[in-house]
Amino acid sequence: MVTYGRVRMEDVARQAGVSVATVSKVVNGRYGVSATTTARVADVISELGYEASLGARSLRSTRTGILGVLVAEFEPFSTELLKGVSGAMADTDYELMAFAGATHGETVGWERRSLRRLGGTLLDGAIVVTPTVIEPGAAVPVVAIDPHTGSSDVPTVDSDNVGGARSAVEHLIGLGHTRIGMIRGREDLESARLREQGFRQAMAAAGLEVDETLLATGSYRSESAVAPALLLLDRRDRPTAVFAANDLMAIRTVEVARTLGLQVPADLSVVGFDNIPESALAQPALTTVAQPLREMGRCALDLLLSLLAGEELAQPHVRLDTRLVERASTGPPAPGRL
Amino acid sequence: MVTYGRVRMEDVARQAGVSVATVSKVVNGRYGVSATTTARVADVISELGYEASLGARSLRSTRTGILGVLVAEFEPFSTELLKGVSGAMADTDYELMAFAGATHGETVGWERRSLRRLGGTLLDGAIVVTPTVIEPGAAVPVVAIDPHTGSSDVPTVDSDNVGGARSAVEHLIGLGHTRIGMIRGREDLESARLREQGFRQAMAAAGLEVDETLLATGSYRSESAVAPALLLLDRRDRPTAVFAANDLMAIRTVEVARTLGLQVPADLSVVGFDNIPESALAQPALTTVAQPLREMGRCALDLLLSLLAGEELAQPHVRLDTRLVERASTGPPAPGRL
DNA sequence: GTGAAAGCGCTAACAT
DNA sequence: ATGTTAGCGCTTTCAC
C-alpha cells in the first residue's frame, strides 16, 4: 500500500522507529548505520514512496547533483542546445534542470537573476544560453553558450560566426546578388556582431559596397524581424537578397515578404543562421548556416564537468565549425532587377 | 559597484541597518514598512544584486510561482511540448522550470520521483509528459500529456491517436500497400495502445488481414526501433510498408532499411507519428501524422492554471486533432512485390 | 550505532 | 513600523 501526498523524512523515521538523523544517513548512504536498521528504513522508504525534498536538501548540503541550463525562454535555438546537453548527461552523475528566466518580459539580466536564485543552493553548476550581461564570479561554475560581447573569464562555447556569415553571403553573391540587405541580431551578443562582420567581409571580398540603409536590427526573436524586414523590403530599391542573423528572423522575413507580394526566392532570396529544425519545415525550406547546436550543448556540458571536477580548462573558449545548408529560399535574382 | 558571490538576506539586512524580517517584507512587497526603509533596502538589494534563494524560499512559503514540466529526457517530442508551454507562459504570473527525470536510466517511475522531489516545495504545479505510472494525488496540481494507460483522475491532454493512426495506414493502403507492418510504442502508454488500435481499424476497414508477425514493439526511443525494424525487414516476405508509432522510431526504421539495402520509398514506405521538426529534416522527409504538439503544451498549461485557480475543469481530458502530413517516405509498392 | 541539537536562508506570526 | 521568534525539511556535528 503506497501512501501519496507529501511524505517527510520524519514520517519515515516515525514508522521505522528511528530518528530522522538515521533516515538521512540511510538516504545518503553514510556509514554508521547497522545493516538491520538500514534495511528496515529502506523498506519504509519504498513503502511510503519517500523522496527527499530538493528544496530542503539543497539548503543544507552543498552538492545537489543538479546542473542547470538557464535560458531566456524555450524556443527552437535553446531547445536544440538542451537536447545536446540532455543527451550527454546520461554518462554523468548529474541531473538536468532547465529554467526559463525571461518569462516576465525581462529582456536583460534574466540570467543573473536565475543564477542567483538557483546557483549555490539548487544547482551545482549552470550553462547559460545567450547571456545578456557579463557576470564574473557566480556562486557556482558557469559556462556560456553564444556569449555576450566583451571579454570575460567565463568559459564559452560558440561557433564560427564570422565564417558562417561569410559563407551565407558568398552564397548569395555566387547566385548573382549584389544588392544584399542584412537583419542583424541582438546587439549585445557577440554572435550578432560577428555575423555582421562576416557579412561585411564577404561583401568587401567581392568588391561590393555595403549600402548601410540596407542594414536593420532585430533581436533574434521572430517578431523582432517584422519592422526591419518592412524597412528593407517595402521600398522601391529593395535588396534582392537578405541575410538574417538567425533562422527565426529569416523565417519571419519570408512571411513579411509574402505579405508584400514578393515571391521567395524568385523576387527575394533569404538566408538564415542556426539551422534550427524549423528552418527545414519553413515554406520554402530555408537556406541557412548550420551551427552544430547539439554538439555545442554537449561541449558546454563537457566544459562544465571539467570545471566541477576542478580541472584546469585547456580550451576555455570552444568554437565549432559552421556549414552552409542550401535549401529553397535562395536563388538567382530576377533578371530585371540585377 | 556590484558584489558577486552568494549574497544572503542577512547581508542586505546588515548593510541597510534593518532586520532580515524587514528585508523579507520589502522583497515580498508586504505592508508595514515605511517608504524610507523600503527605498533604502531596495537600494542595498540592487547594489548587492541580491536575489532570494529559491531553495530557501520554497521551504518556507507555499507559493513559489514556478510551474514545472517533468520529462524523462529532453528529446524532440518533449521539447516541442516545452515550446508550447513556454510560449503560453508569458501571459501568466508563473515561471517555468523543466526537469529531466530519467537521466540515470530509470525507465519507470521517474515522474513520481521528480514530482516528490520538486512538488510541494519547489513547484506550485506540474505538467508531466508521458508518465510511466498512475499517480493519484500528488502534493501539487498535475496535468499529464500523453498519459499512461488506465483510468486516473489526473487531467490529461492528448491527441486523436486512433484517428491519426488510421489515417496513416489508410494512406498506405490508398497507395496500394497490403502487406503493412507496425512498430508499436511504449507499451504502458495509452497512445501506443490507441495507435495500434487505429492501425487495426484501418486494416479491417480495408478488408486486410493483420499478419501478427509483422507487428513488433519499441519504446518510442530511437534505438528501440533497431531490433523491431530488423525483425520486420530482414526477411524474405517483408512488408512493403511500415507504420512506426512515432517519428523517432520511423526515422530509425528508414536508417535500418537503408543498411539492408532497401530504398525508401521505392522498396519500403514508412510513416511516423508526431511530426517532430526532425521528421521534415530526415532523408527522405518523413510522411507522418502531425500532433499539434505546441498546442498540446498550451492546453496542458491552461488546464494546470485552472486547477491552480481552484476552478472545476469542464473538460478534464482534452483531445486534439491530428493531421496526415504526406512527405517523401511513402509511395506505391514496387510492382513486383504487390 | 543512534539520536539530540544546531542551522542552511528564508517567511510569517507575534511582540514591541 | 520594526524586530524577535519559530520553524519549513533536511544534513551534520557531536554526544551518548
Structural domain contains residue B201: yes
- Judge contact between B99 and A97, C-beta under 8 A: yes
Q: How confident is the model at residue A169 (pLDDT cuts 50, 70, 90)?
A: very high
Nearest to A55 among B59, B85, B136 (CB): B59
Strand D–CB B62 distance below 7 A: no
Claim to verify: residue B191 and residue B45 sit in the same structural domain? no
Shortest-distance nucleotide from B53 CA to C1': C9
pLDDT at B88 over 70: yes
Claim to verify: residue A154 and residue A299 sit in the same structural domain? yes
pLDDT tens-digit series, residues A285-331: 999 999 999 999 999 999 999 999 999 888 899 999 999 999 999 99
Chain C nucleotides with an atom closer than 7 Å to a protein C-beta = 1-5, 7-13
pLDDT tens-digit series, residues A41-68: 999 999 999 999 999 999 998 899 999 9
Mean pLDDT of A221-243: 97
Shortest-distance nucleotide from A57 CA to C1': D10
Query: If we measure between CA atoms, which residue out of A160, A89, A91 comes closest to residue A317?
Result: A160
Between these two residues, A336 and A31, which has the higher pLDDT value? A31
Between these two residues, A32 and A228, which has the higher pLDDT value? A228
Instruction: Report the pLDDT value the prediction gives residue B1, as an integer from 0 to 100.
Output: 31
Claim to verify: residue A140 and residue A79 sit in the same structural domain? yes
Instruction: Report the pLDDT value the prediction gives residue B26, as an integer from 0 to 100.
Output: 95
| pTM score of the predicted model | 0.94
Claim to verify: residue B254 and residue B209 sit in the same structural domain? yes
Query: Does the distance separating the beta carbons of A76 and B86 come in below 8 Å?
Result: no
Taking the CA of residue A52 and the C1' sugar atom of nucleotide C10, their distance in angstroms comes to 19
Instruction: Report the pLDDT value the prediction gives residue A221, as an integer from 0 to 100.
Output: 94
Instruction: Report the pLDDT value the prediction gives residue B120, as an integer from 0 to 100.
Output: 78
Instruction: Report the pLDDT value the prediction gives residue B5, as an integer from 0 to 100.
Output: 60
Instruction: Report the pLDDT value the prediction gives residue B318, as an integer from 0 to 100.
Output: 95
DSSP summary character for residue B283: S
Query: If we measure between CA atoms, which residue out of B2, B5, B21 comes closest to residue B13?
Result: B21
pLDDT at A150 over 80: no
Structural domain contains residue B323: no
Claim to verify: residue A258 and residue A299 sit in the same structural domain? no
Shortest-distance nucleotide from B19 CA to C1': D3
Claim to verify: residue B113 and residue B185 sit in the same structural domain? no
Residue carrying the nine cell digits 536564485: A117
Chain D nucleotides with an atom closer than 7 Å to a protein C-beta = 1-5, 7-13
Instruction: Report the pLDDT value the prediction gives residue B137, as an integer from 0 to 100.
Output: 66
Query: Does the distance separating the beta carbons of A5 and B137 come in below 8 Å?
Result: yes
Structural domain contains residue B336: no
Q: What are the chain A neighbours of B4 within 8 Å (beta carbons)?
A: 135-138
Interacting residues of A336 by C-beta distance below 8 A, sequence separation 6+: none
Instruction: Report the pLDDT value the prediction gives residue B149, as an integer from 0 to 100.
Output: 78
CA distance to partner chain A, nearest, from residue B204 (Å): 34
Instruction: Report the pLDDT value the prediction gives residue A3, as an integer from 0 to 100.
Output: 37
Q: What is A59-86 written as a DSSP string?
A: HH-S---EEEEEESS--HHHHHHHHHHH
Query: Does the distance separating the beta carbons of A94 and B103 come in below 8 Å?
Result: yes
Instruction: Report the pLDDT value the prediction gives residue B153, as an integer from 0 to 100.
Output: 81
Structural domain contains residue B10: yes
Instruction: Report the pLDDT value the prediction gives residue A132, as an integer from 0 to 100.
Output: 81
Mean pLDDT of B202-218: 97
Structural domain contains residue B332: no
Taking the CA of residue A60 and the C1' sugar atom of nucleotide C7, their distance in angstroms comes to 8
Total domains in chain B come to 3
Q: What are the chain B neighbours of A120 within 8 Å (beta carbons)?
A: 6, 53
Structural domain contains residue B335: no
Instruction: Report the pLDDT value the prediction gives residue A114, as an integer from 0 to 100.
Output: 92
Q: What's the whole-number average pLDDT of chain B?
A: 93
pLDDT at B136 over 70: no
Mean pLDDT of B235-256: 97
Query: Does the distance separating the beta carbons of B89 and A117 come in below 8 Å?
Result: no
Cβ atoms < 10 Å from Cβ of A326: 12
Instruction: Report the pLDDT value the prediction gives residue A1, as an integer from 0 to 100.
Output: 31
Mutate to test the interface with A, among B103, B133, B154, B276 (most CBs of A within 10 A): B103
Claim to verify: residue B30 and residue B82 sit in the same structural domain? no
Query: If we measure between CA atoms, which residue out of A216, A220, A245 comes closest to residue A232?
Result: A216
Mean pLDDT of A246-262: 98
The residue type found at B186 is R
Domain that holds residue B102: 66-159+293-318
Q: How confident is the model at residue A4 (pLDDT cuts 50, 70, 90)?
A: very low
Claim to verify: residue B149 and residue B259 sit in the same structural domain? no
Taking the CA of residue A18 and the C1' sugar atom of nucleotide C9, their distance in angstroms comes to 28
Taking the CA of residue A135 and the C1' sugar atom of nucleotide D2, their distance in angstroms comes to 35
The continuous run of DSSP H or E covering A324 comes out as strand A323-325
- Judge contact between A167 and A147, C-beta under 8 A: no
Q: What's the CATH number where A232 sits?
A: 3.40.50.2300
Instruction: Report the pLDDT value the prediction gives residue B319, as an integer from 0 to 100.
Output: 96
pLDDT at B271 over 60: yes
pLDDT at B28 over 50: yes
B234: helix, strand or coil: coil
Query: Does the distance separating the beta carbons of A100 and B95 come in below 8 Å?
Result: yes
Instruction: Report the pLDDT value the prediction gives residue B79, as an integer from 0 to 100.
Output: 98
Query: Does the distance separating the beta carbons of B49 and A112 come in below 8 Å?
Result: yes
Claim to verify: residue A187 and residue A271 sit in the same structural domain? yes
Query: Does the distance separating the beta carbons of B122 and A5 come in below 8 Å?
Result: no
Claim to verify: residue B30 and residue B73 sit in the same structural domain? no
Q: What's the CATH number where A34 sits?
A: 1.10.260.40
Claim to verify: residue B246 and residue B188 sit in the same structural domain? yes
pLDDT tens-digit series, residues B303-314: 999 999 999 888
pLDDT at B97 over 90: yes
The grid cell for A90 is 546520461
Structural domain contains residue B17: yes
User: Distances from the Cα of A122 to the Cαs of A23, A62, B325, in angstroms?
Assistant: 22, 9, 43
CA distance to partner chain A, nearest, from residue B326 (Å): 13
- Judge contact between B266 and B336, C-beta under 8 A: no
Structural domain contains residue B338: no
Claim to verify: residue B282 and residue B298 sit in the same structural domain? no
